[in-house]
Structure 1
Amino acid sequence: MDPECSRLLPALCAVLADPRQLVTDDTCLEKLLDWFKTVTEAESSLLLLEENPCLVDLLSHALKFQDVSSRILSFSLRLAGIFAAQENCFQYLQQGELLLGLFGEAGPLGFPAWNVPSVRSGWIQGLCSLAQHPSAEQFLIECGAMDTIFSLQGDSSLFVASAASQLLVQVLGLSLQGRATLQLGLPDGDWPSCAQSIVGYLEESLRSEATPQVTQALKVLTTMFGRCHQPWTEALWMRLSPLVVCLLEKDPVPTAHSLVDLFLSMARSPVFGSSDCDLWVTLAQTLSRLSPMQAGPLALGILKLHVCPQALRTQAFDVLLLPLACVLEAAAQPPGFRSCVYPPGLLDGTGSSLAMADALLASTSSCAGLLCQSLAHLGELQPLPHGPRLWPQAPLLKATVTTLCFCSGSAVPVSSVGGRLCRILAGCVRVQRAALDFLGTLSQGTGPQESVMQVFAILLEYLRSPESSPTVLKKAFQATLRWLLSTSKVCGSNDPGCHTQPFLRELFPVMQKRLCNPCWEVRDSALEFLTHLTAHWEGQPGFRQALLASDMPELAQQLLQDPEAYVRASAVAAMGQLASQGLHATPTGPEHPGAQQKSLLQELLHILSTDSEGFPRRAVMQVFTRWLQDGHTAMAEDLEQFMARVFQVVSRDLDWEVRVQGLELARVFLAQTLGPPDCPYAVALPAAAPPIPPIEVLRTLGRVQLLEFAFRALFDCDRPVAQKSCDLLLLLRARTAPDSGLQGAGGGPDTATVEAALRAWQAGEQGQPLGELVPEVVVAVLRALDLEGLQATLAQSSDHVEQSPRSLLQDMLATVGALGGHEADCY
C-alpha cells in the first residue's frame, strides 16, 4: 500500500467509526471497497492488517454498537469478507472471533439494521468473498450461517434473494470441489457436511407444498447447472431428479417457468449434453405435460440446442407450429367440403382437431398470447443455421396471412371456431404486430407465386385500412420493404419484378395518403419507407417511372415544414435520397433540371440555420455529407461558398452531434481536396490529374473556414467533437506539413496570435479571435500542437481525471472536515 494512504487510513477509519459523522456517499464507500480488493489481490491481506491495525479496529467497532449505521455495517461486512478471502488472514481474524461476531448468529442478525436490505446484502457479499478456501466451509457450518443463507433464499428483496442463491451455489461448489461422481453416488454419509446440509435443504424444498419454496430450490439448481460443469453435478442431479420429475406429475404443473429454465440450463451443460442420462426423456415428458403457453419457451430452447435427438426436435417444433395449424384449421371449409384440413407439412401429419383449436383459443388473452409467442419463436428460428431441417415455408406463409385476415376482419368464418377467432382477433394490435414481423422474416425464404401475391394483397390491405394503428402501419411498411427486395432478388434483378410492378402502382397512391395522415407517426413511417425503397431502387427504370408518376416527391418536400421534428428529419432524409438521383419533378419543366435541386439545397440550408430541433439539423448534415461523397450536381456549383456557409453555421450549433457530422463533412471535403495519397508502388496513370500543392490546399481550407471550425472543435467541451477534430487535424498535418516546403516554424506575429487564441480556447475563452490562418501559420501551429498527446488523452474514458486512492481518501476526509489546509484533492 502507498505510504501516503497508510498515513491517511487511521483518520478515515476514525471517521467511519464515529456515529456523529454521517457518511452518506455510497459511491465513495464502493470505490473504497474496490481499492481494498485491488490491494489484497496484489498483497498479503494479513500483512495489510498487521501494518494498519486501524482496519481491525473498524471491523470490531461494527460489533460494539447495535445502532451503527446500515451503510457502515454493510461496508464492514463486505470489507471483512475481502480480507478473509486469503486463508492466513482468515485464521488471523478468527483468533479474535471477529468473523464469528460479524457473520455468526450472535452478530448483526440481531441488530435493528438487519431489517435494511443493504445490510443483508452486505452480509451475503462478505460471505461470497470469504468462501474461497476449505477453512471457510467449516466456518459456515460452525457459525450457523447456513440456516440464515437458507432463510434468505425467500427474502422480500429480490436483490438479496438472488445474491443468497448465488452464495448457496458457491458454497456447494466449494464443498464438492474435487469430488468424483462415484464417491458421491455412495450413501449420504459420503457427502461433505456442508454439501449434505445444502442438498437436504433442496430436497426439503422440492417436497414442499408451498410453490415459492419449490421455486427457490429450482432457481438454485438452475444457477448451479449453468455455472458448474464439474462431474459431481451429474451425481447431484441423480439424487434430486426423482423429486423434480415428480413435479411434472402434478396438475397443474407448479413453477413451470422455473422448470423450463432448469432443464434448458442442464441441456446446455456439457455434463448432460454428452452423457447417457435421461434428460432428453425428461424434456420430452415436460413438453407433453406443460400447457402450450408454458411449453413454448422450452420448445424454442430445445430447437436452439446444437446437440439434441431429432425426435425431440420434431416434438418441440410441433409445439410451436400447433397454434398456427389451429388457425388454418379454423379457416378451412366445413367437413365434407374440404380436401385437406391445412396445407401438408405444417405438423408432419400429426394433425390438430377443431376441438383442440377450441381448447387452445378459448379466450382473447390466451389466443393473443399463444399466437404472439408462436410467431415470435418461429421468427427466431428461421435464420438459425441449425434450425429445423424441413422448414414449412408455404404453410407458414398461408397461416400468417390467414392470421392477419382474422385480425383485419377480412376472413370469412366457415365454422364455429372460425367465428370465435374472428371475434377474438378482430383489431388485435398485438397479434397484428407479431404476424407482420414474422411475415417479414419469411421473406428470406421462397414460396409459390400464388402465396407471394397473397402476401402483397394482405400487406396492401393493412396499408390501406384506416383501422391500422401507427405501430401496425410501421410493421406493415417494414414487411412490405423486405418482400419487395426479396422478390427482386429472386428475379435476378434489382428492378421490381413483373408481379411487383402492379403492386407498386397500387402502393404509391396509398403512400400519398399516408404522407398526409394527421398522425405524425404515420407520416414518419411513410417517409422512412420511401427513403429505404428509393435507396434500393433509385436507378431502376420501372421504379423511377412509377415514382415520378405519383405526387410523393412533392408531398415529401412539403413535409420539410412539418410541425413535428421527427417528421422533418425523415423528410430531409427522404428528399436527400430522392434528389441524389433527380427523382423529383421540376416546377419549370425538364429544360431546367437544376432549378428544383437549387431550391432544395437552399431549403436544407435554411433548416440547418433555423430549425429549433436537433434531429432535422443532423439529418441535413448527413445528406450534405452523402451528396459530397457521391458528387451530387447540386453541390458542384460554388462549392467553396457553400462549404463556407455550412461550416460557419455548424461551428455555432449547440447540438454536439451536428458538430460531429460537420467534422465528418470536413473530412470528406479534405480528402477530396487532397486527392488520394501517394503510393510509391503504384503505377502512375497517364491521364491522372497532378496533385494540388499543399499551399493551395491550405488556402482552400482557409477560404471555406474549415480550419477555424476544426481548431475551435479541437477544444470542444464534448469529447466526441474534440476526438473527431483531432483525427482530422492529424490527417491534415500528415498530408501537408511534412513536405509543404513552407517555413512555418518560429514565433512570427501571426503565429503567436493564433497560438495565443488556441490557448485561450483551451481555457474556455471561445470569444477570442483566431487571427489570419495563412498557410505558413497553419503549418507552424500543426507542428506545435501535441495532437498525438491530445488524441491519447481523449481516447481515455470520461473519468480519466486522476482518481488515485490517495485522492479518494483525502476527499472522504475533507467531506467531514477531518483534513486541514489544502490537503483535499477533489476529482
Structure 2
Amino acid sequence: MTEGLPVPSAGLAGISSLTMDPECSQLLPALCAVLADPRQPMADDTCLEKLLDWFKTITEAGSSLLLLQENPCLVELLCHMLKPQDLSSRVLSFSLRLTGVLAAQEDCFQYLQQGELLPKLFGEAGPLGGAAWTSPAVRSGWIQGLRSLAQHPSALHFLAHCGAVDTIFSLQEDSSLFVASAAGQLLVHILGLSMQGPAGGPPSLQAGDWPACAQKIVGHIEESLRATATPQITQALNVLTTTFGHYHDPWTQVLWVQLSPLVAGLLEKDPVPAAHSLVDLLLSVARCAGRYRGRLHDGGHAPPLQGGLRGAPVPEPGPPGAAAAPAPAPLPLASGAPAGGRSDPAAAVRGLSKAGLRHGAPPLHAPAGLRAGPAGGPRFPGGAVGRDRPPRAGDAGVRCPSGVSQEPRLQPHALLCLLQVLKKAFQATFRWLLSSPKTPGCWDLDPHALLFLRDLLPVLQKRLCSPCWEVRDSSLEFLTQMARHWGGQAGFRHALLASEVPKLTEQLLRDPESYVRASAVTAMGQLSSQGLCFPPAGPEHHGGQQKSLLVELLHILSTDSEGFPRRAVMQVFTQWLRDSHADVAGDTEQFVAGVLQVASQDLDWEVRAQGLELALVFLEQTLGQPRSHCPHAVTPPVEAPVGPLAQALQPLCRVRLFDFAFRALFDCDRPVAQKSCDLLLFLRAKTASSSGLQESRSSPDVASVEAALQRWQAGDQAQPLGDLEPEVVLAVLRSLDLEGLRGALAESSDHVEKSPQSLLQDMLATVGVLGENEADCY
C-alpha cells in the first residue's frame, strides 16, 4: 500500500465479504503489476474496455470501498500512475477512468482523497503537465474519469477547488474534436449536478445563490456568447442546447431568462454567427418549454420557459419555400403577448424560419409538436423497433434521468407499457402494409393502403417531435423500414415528400440523445439513397441538398462525442459506396480518402473496423473481383500483367488505403487488427501471380516502409508512411507474415467464453505471465 493512503477498515456491516470470484482475486495482482510496468506491452484496448466494464458491474452491485479493501493492488496501480515514468497512454487513460468509476461512491471518494490521489490524478499537478497529456486518449480518459466521479456533493467541492473546471473550458478547444465535444458534455453534466440542490432539496431560483461550479460555468457561457470568434459562440450554444435537452427543472427557466438577451443579440448580428447551432438551441428550448408546461399545474413556482427574447410581432412564416425577407426580421412574440413582453422560443424559431437565416442556415419550420407535448418521462435502456439498445452507463432498470423532475405524470411501469404498445403498433402497421394486396402488374401500395399512409404520416410527425427520446428513436426506425421497402414506389414517395417527415428527420441529426442521432443518421442515409430527403429541387440546384447531407454526416463523424452516431455514419457511407450513391460516385476517391482519414483517428474501435469494411469495398470495386463470404478463404490468383496491376493499385495508393490498413494491422483492438489482416490477405491473394514485382524487395523505399512498420508494431505510430507506390506495397505485403499474425490474433478465447476469469487469463497470457496451459486459449 502506498504511503499516505490508509488501509480501509475491515468491517463494513451489511455488505457481502466478497466482491469478485476468488479465482479473479488471485489473478488481479499479477495483472495490476503488468499494467504498471511500462516495459510490458499491453496492446489490446478491447481487453481494457472489458476490464473497465467488469469493474463498473462490480461497483454498481456493491461497495467500491470494499473492492479496494479486498484488492489493495488496485490502489497500488492507481498510485503507480503518479510516478514519473514512461507510462503507456492507454493504461494511464484506463486508470483515470477506473478512478472515476471507484470515486463515484462518496465513501470511496473520501478514502481516495485522504492520500491526495484524486488531486494528483485530476488536478493541476496530475497528467496535465506531463508528456502523457499530449495523447488524446489520456485527455479523453481524464474527461471520462471526471464524468464518472461527478455524482455527489463531495465531487462538486473537489471540482470547484482543484482547477478542473478551467481545464474543461480549455479542452472545449482541443485539437481532437472528440475530446472537445466530450468536454462540452462534461460541463453540462457538472452544471446539472450542481443544480440538484443541497441534500436533494430544491435549488435556489436566484442565479446569484447558485453553487460555485454552476456560477463559473454560466459565467463562461456568458463570456463565450459575447465573444467575436464563432468557435467560442458555437461551443456555448452547444452546451446550452444539450442542457435544455437533458434538464427540464425550474432552474433551467432562470438560466434561459438570464442568457436569452445574449442569444437575442446574436440574432441581430450580420451575419448571424453559428446559425445552425443557434437554431438547434431554440428548438431544444422549445421542446423544454413543452415539457415544462405539462408540469405547471403541479405548483411550479418558476417563470415559464416562454420568457427571454424580446421583439416586435411579425406575421407567421409562410409555407416551406416562401421567399425570405430582404432584411432580418425582429423576433416574434408569443401569441397574445403585449408588445415589449416576453416571447416564446418556438416563436423565435418561426421568426428564424421567416428570416430564412439568410447567412448560411436553411429555412426551418418548427411544427407544433416541437412546442408542446407531455411531460418528460423516465429514461429506459432499449425502446427501439427491431433491435435492442445496450443500456447506458448508470442506467439501472427504469429511473428518472438526472435533473428531471422525480414526479413523472405516469408511473414508470405505465410509461414502459405505453412504449411497448407504440412499438407493437409500429410493427403491426409495417406488417399490415407488407401484406396489403397489390394491383396486378403494379408494385405500388393499393389505394386503401395509400389512404392509410396519408393519415399515418401526420401521426409519425408528432411522434418524431415527442419529448420522450425512446418514441423519437422508435419512430425513426419505423420510417427507415418503410423507406427501405417502399422508397421506390410512386404513391409512397409522393405522400412522404408532401409531409414534414424528411425535414424533421434531418433536424433529429442534432438531437440531444445519441441513440436518436444514430437512428436519424440511418434514416437519412436510407432516404437519401432513394432521393427522399427533400422535395425535388429545380435543375439548377440538382444535388445541392444531397451534398449538404454528405457534409453533415462527415461533420457528425468528425465531432460527435458518442460512438453510436459515428458508427451509424460509417455504415451509411459503406452502403452508399456499395450502391454507387450519386454523391459518392461524383468523386469516389475524394470521398473514400476523406472518410478513411477521419475513421483512422477515431477512438472507437468499431468505427475503425467499419472504416476497413469501407476500404475493402473500395478495393473490390477498384480491382473488380468481390471477395468470398468466408473471411479466411483464399481467392484464386489473378493472371494480370505487372503494368495493368500497378495501374489498378494506383487509386488505392492515392486514397492512403494502405497507410490506414497497415496502421490497423497493429491496432490495439484485436477486431480491427483481424479485419485489416483479412483485407491484406485478400489483396495479396489477388496479386499472387505478379511475380515480376518481387524485384522491388531491395528498394530503399521498401526498407523504409518495413522499418516504419516495425516502429508501429512497437507502439510508435506517430510517423505516417506517406505516398506509396504499388510495387512497394506488394513487396511489403509479401514480406509480412500475415498468416502467423492472423493465427496469433485468433488465440484469445474471451470472445467465446465471456467470463472475468477468462479475460484476466487472456490478458496475462498475452504478455507471457501465465503458462500456455493456464490460459483459456485454443
Which interval holds the TM-score relative to the shorter structure? 0.3 to 0.5
Name the TM-score, length of structure 2 as normaliser. 0.44
Name the TM-score, length of structure 1 as normaliser. 0.42
Decide which structure has greater helix share: 1
